[in-house]
Copies of this chain bind each other. A is one copy, B any other.
Amino acid sequence: MPRDPSCVFCKIVAAEIPSSVVYEDQYVLSFIDIGPLADGHLLVIPRDHYTNLTDAPPEVVGRVGSVLPILSRACLSVTRAEGFNVLCNQGRVAGQAVGHVHFHIIPRKEGDGLGYRWNAGKYPPGRDAELAAAYQKAILGRP
């Protein structure tokens, strides 16, 4: 099982640092974020250490994904929030503060001042198709 002895989330998995655990199974741990954006803010992590989502095996992120419904239902039930954001940040530029893959579940209520800064743009004609071709090439490794 990949582990980084200097990683705070690995220490939480190993119970070397205490946390308020809300859910655990063989692959996934969920606990209360101690720096909450809202009351009841959860973290969901794979037990195994991967610094980045891009490093993690598909099945590891799949296991995390598969527990999001039950955890987000619990989030609405416990916090009586009207909705929530699920968020995973990779890279300092994106707000990643701990180098162990983690998903936030952030309960949302009207007027809470949270949320993603949403300034949607528009592509010039052809740019979306051009991007799709570049993505297909990157994903399939096709020339």
**Per-residue CB proximity of A125-137 to B under 8 Å, as 1/0?**
0011101101110
Decide if A95 touches B74 in the complex (CB within 8 Å).
no
Determine the distance from Cα of A62 to Cα of B25 in the docked complex, in whole angstroms.
15
**A61 within 8 Å of B by Cβ?**
yes
Per DSSP, chain A at the interface is: mixed
Q: Number of copies of this chain in the oligomer?
A: 2
Q: Kindly identify which residue among B21, B69, B113 contacts A54, using a CB–CB cutoff of 8 Å.
A: B69
Interface size on A, residues (CB 8 A): 82
Distance in angstroms from A55 CB to nearest chain B CB is 8
**Per-residue CB proximity of A61-89 to B under 8 Å, as 1/0?**
11111111111111111100111111111
